[in-house]
Amino acid sequence: MHLKKQVISWTKPLKGQHMFFISILLQLPLSAVLASWSVSYKPGYICVFERSSVDFTCSFKYPSSHTLKTTKWFKPKEYQKQDGSHEGIFVYNSKAAEIDKLYKNRTVYAKQDQNCSLQLQNVSKSDIGNYFFRLETNYYHGKYTGLGGIYLNVAVLPFRVTVTKQKVNGPIHEGDSVTLKCSTENCTPQQGPFAWFKNQLLLPQATGNVLRIASVSHNDFGNYSCGLKNSSTTSADEILLDVRYSPKNVEITISTSAKIEQGNSLTLICNSNANPAATNYTWFKIRDANISFIGFDSEFSIKAASQKDDGQYFCTAKNDMGSQNSMIVALKVEVPSHRHFFLTATAVFFFVIAVLLVLFGLSIRRKRITPKQQSTEQTPAVTVTEEIYENLRKSLESEESHTSPIYADLKLPSSTSERPCSNSQEGSAVIYSLLSYKE
Ligand SMILES: *[C@@H]1O[C@H](CO)[C@@H](O)[C@H](O)[C@H]1NC(C)=O
Ligand SMILES: *[C@@H]1O[C@H](CO)[C@@H](O)[C@H](O)[C@H]1NC(C)=O
Ligand SMILES: *[C@@H]1O[C@H](CO)[C@@H](O)[C@H](O)[C@H]1NC(C)=O
Ligand SMILES: *[C@@H]1O[C@H](CO)[C@@H](O)[C@H](O)[C@H]1NC(C)=O
Ligand SMILES: *[C@@H]1O[C@H](CO)[C@@H](O)[C@H](O)[C@H]1NC(C)=O
Ligand SMILES: *[C@@H]1O[C@H](CO)[C@@H](O)[C@H](O)[C@H]1NC(C)=O
């Protein structure tokens, strides 16, 4: 089918073919004339950093019968036509006096046959615009401006980082695709290599002006900056890549003034890495295979630890993105041995005092009763009782701190016939220590 159509189209327009050849014949002299006049620019568009130099590469031709008189580079004024039909101001002119003061001493012209390349130095924002090359010969009509020209754009420093992602609205979440772009005002020269920094550290792999992260993770959270590698140009202001993520590395730290001992205060803190920071916490205690909620703050405090607080603890940290549990922390409240001893000693002391008071009360009753009931009986019994009492009083006064001798004295009067033994320190001490160990 295709082939047939082609055959038909070739055979049909005989008249048109003639016309075609005629038009070529007419055009030949004109194109020959045009071919002798030409200017070519390279490239048509340039973006350079301000304060740097730019090269306009340019070559030209003119009829060999002509003599070159004037060469010039011009820039149309802002309000003029930008197609090269208005000369505007002279950037370069073989008649030096014609050069605009804005460009004096800032250009280097090739000044070679058929080479119209121009270097423009210390470029600034005011240099933005179209540039054209024009040549004039000794002939009245020997004037030619290269069409198209070169458009110069000037990148104004400093660099800045912009972040774009697929979804326009809302924060950046883990898994999103994100693009960071290093750019300058007006345009960004495609010269490199670029340098990227994350929290002031160079990212060695990133050398383009675009840094693409296909799937962001919480590790990508941070401040980013960029600049030119091996250049003194200042790098961009940092921009925060604000990746939102659920709590990570949830762990419990224990803060206590001293050891985890009975009576000490201590605080369990639920730490986490989250963005935004975790707002909801839950504390759990495991004891005897029983999990119970114990708190909803980031901290769990115990004012005075006791063995009741023994157990395993863990916390859950939560933000809008999700939650995570901490590892389990086992808490064991120690009972210090010296305290144990002290408590026992105190208990013994009060016990002894109590017994003493009871006996003291009994002895007073006995003292009151005996004279009446046993008035006829022999006095020695009374004397013994009185002596015991006296002994007791003595020991109370003299050795209040030592409860032991009293104990020794008390034990003996059960048989009234025997006299209480003397205040033997050694013997009483043994009894005391025995008691204390029993408790
Ligand atoms: C250009 O340079 C010349 C000599 O180097 C100097 O005399 C002249 O003032 C300079 N012109 C401008 C506009 O800087
Ligand atoms: C034109 O002149 C420039 C500057 O002098 C030079 O770098 C370039 O190589 C020249 N081009 C040609 C084609 O000679
Ligand atoms: C470059 O131009 C700026 C003004 O645009 C000027 O302040 C600066 O001194 C110039 N630098 C050089 C090296 O000529
Ligand atoms: C990012 O920069 C800001 C402002 O300088 C600073 O407050 C913040 O701590 C930085 N963040 C990181 C992750 O370095
Ligand atoms: C987190 O805590 C806030 C304030 O206490 C409460 O309003 C919210 O419901 C809690 N969110 C969750 C998911 O528990
Ligand atoms: C678990 O603890 C709760 C509260 O502390 C208590 O009511 C419950 O009886 C306990 N269950 C078991 C099986 O120990």
pLDDT on residue 339 = 61
- Contact of 144 with 34, CB cutoff 8 Å: no
Please give the residue range of the domain that contains residue 365. 342-372
CA end-to-end distance (rounded Å), the chain: 115
Is the minimum distance from the CB of 373 to ligand 1 under 6 angstroms? no
102 and 126, same domain (yes or no): yes
What is the value of pTM for the model shown? 0.62
Which residues have CB under 8 Å from 426's CB, separation 6+?
A: none
**Which residue among 285, 288, 291, 292 is best mutated to probe the pocket of ligand 6, counting the most ligand atoms within 8 A of its Cβ?**
292
Q: Which protein residues are within 6 Å of ligand 3, measured from CB?
A: 51, 122, 124
Looking at the fold, whether 138 and 42 belong to one and the same domain comes out as yes
Residues 121 and 168 in one domain: no
Res. 89: pLDDT tops 70? yes
Measure Cα distances from 264 to 208, 301, 332 in Å.
59, 11, 12
Which of 197, 223, 273, when mutated, tests ligand 4's pocket best, judged by the most ligand atoms within 8 Å of its CB? 223
The per-residue pLDDT for 261 is: 86
Name the packing angle between helices 380-398 and 337-373 (round to 10°): 150
Rounded to 10 deg, the angle between the 425-438 and 404-411 helix axes is: 100
- Within-domain flag for 378: no
Average pLDDT over residues 206-219: 94
pLDDT in tens, 91-150: 999 999 999 999 999 999 998 889 999 999 999 999 999 999 999 999 999 999 999 999
CA of 74 to the centre of ligand 3 (A): 21
Residue 405, pLDDT score: 36
CB 162 within 8 A of CB 241: no
Residue 193, pLDDT > 70, answer: yes
The answer as to whether 377 is a domain residue is no
Domain boundary among 148, 165, 180: 148
Q: Are 202 and 196 in contact (CB under 8 A)?
A: yes
Overall domain count for the chain? 5
User: What own/partner pairs with CB < 8 Å and gap ≥ 24 does 1-8 have?
Assistant: none
Q: What is the pLDDT of residue 135?
A: 95
Q: Is the same domain home to 363 and 415?
A: no
Whether omega for the bond prior to residue 380 falls within 30 degrees of 0, making it cis, is: no
CA 283 to chain centre: 26
Domain limit, last residue, from 100, 129, 148: 148
Euclidean distance between CA atoms 75 and 132, whole angstroms: 6
Mean pLDDT across the chain: 79
Written as one string, the DSSP assignment of 387-399 is HHHHHHHHHHHHT
Ligand 1 atom nearest to 105, measured from its CA = 1
Same domain, 144 and 51: yes
Same domain as 357, residue 276? no
Q: Which of 198, 224, 241 is the last residue of a domain?
A: 241
Q: Is 309 among the domain residues?
A: yes
* CA pair distance 281, 271, nearest whole angstrom: 10
According to the model, what pLDDT value does residue 191 have?
77
On the question of pLDDT at 232 being above 60, the answer is: yes
Per-residue confidence (pLDDT) for residue 111, from 0 to 100: 84
Per DSSP, the three-state class of 359 is helix
Vertex 319: Cα angle to 316 and 320 (nearest 5):
140
pLDDT of residue 13: 42
- Which pLDDT score is estimated for 150? 97
Q: Identify the residue whose C-alpha is closest to ligand 6 atom 14.
A: 290
402-406 LR contacts (CB < 8 Å, sep 24+): 402/428, 403/348, 403/349, 403/352, 403/353, 403/432, 404/428, 404/429, 404/431, 404/432, 406/352, 406/356
CB atoms within 10 A of CB 284: 19
As a whole number, mean pLDDT of residues 215-228 equals 95
What confidence tier does 34 reach under pLDDT thresholds 50, 70, 90? low
Residue 11 lies in a domain: no
Helices 404-411 & 337-373 angle (0-180, nearest 10)? 40
- Alpha-carbon torsion 94, 97, 98, 102, what sign? positive
By alpha-carbon position, which residue is closest to atom 3 of ligand 5?
280
Assess whether the previous peptide bond of 204 is cis (omega < 30° from 0). Answer: no
Examine the domain organization and report whether 362 and 410 are in the same domain: no
69 domain residue, yes or no:
yes
Asked if the structure places residue 14 within a domain, the reply is: no
Q: Compute the average pLDDT of residues 172-194.
A: 91
Would you say the CB of residue 105 lies under 6 angstroms from ligand 1?
A: yes
Nearest CA to ligand 6 atom 9: 290
Is the separation of the CB atoms in 319 and 246 below 8 Å?
yes
Nearest CA to ligand 4 atom 12: 222
Distances (CA, A) of 131 to 54, 76, 105, 113: 12, 8, 17, 20
User: What's 203's domain CATH number?
Assistant: 2.60.40.10
- Of 304, 45, 40, nearest to 150 (Cα)? 45
Dump pLDDT digits (tens) for 275-306.
999 999 999 999 888 999 999 999 999 999 99
Write out pLDDT tens, residues 368-413.
655 544 444 443 433 444 444 444 444 444 444 443 333 333 333 3
